[in-house]
Structure 1
C-alpha cells in the first residue's frame, strides 16, 4: 500500500505560496481566530529573513529597480 505524503515546498514554490496567502487574507478566507498563529509564524519568517542582511539589501535594490523608490509620505 502506498501512502502519499505532502512534499515540502521548494525555494521556487515560496513566492507563489506567499502570494496565495496574501490573496486569501485579502479575500477573508482565513479565519480571524487563525491570525494569531499566522502572526507568530510570519514573525519567525521575518526574523530569519532579517538575519540575512546582504540578501535583504539586494532584494530591496531589485524592488526599487522594478517599482521605483518607495513612497514613505502618505
Structure 2
C-alpha cells in the first residue's frame, strides 16, 4: 500500500535512523542517493513549501534534537 502524505515524515525519519545505525548496506547507497536526489529536485520545484518547511524546521529543530 502506498504511503500517504502523513506517513512520509516518519518514514524518512526511520530511513535516517537506519542510515545512522548502519542498517542500510553500502551497496544500496547509490540507489538511495538517486532516489533521494529525485525527491529533493521535486521538492525544490515547490519554493513556497521549501520556505515554509525551513521556517518550521528552525522553529522546532532545537526542541527535537538538543545535541545538534
What TM-score does the superposition give when structure 1 sets the normalisation length? 0.78
CA RMSD of aligned residues (A): 1.2
Q: Give the structure with higher Rg (CA).
A: 1
Shift in Å, 1:60? 0.8
Residue 13 to residue 36, structure 1, CA distance change in 2 (3 Å): same
Unaligned runs of 5+ in 2: 63-68
Q: Larger helix proportion, structure 1 or 2?
A: 2
Matches within 5 A, 1:42-61: 42-61=36-55
What TM-score does the superposition give when structure 2 sets the normalisation length? 0.85
Aligned length: 62
Unaligned runs of 5+ in 1: 1-6, 69-74
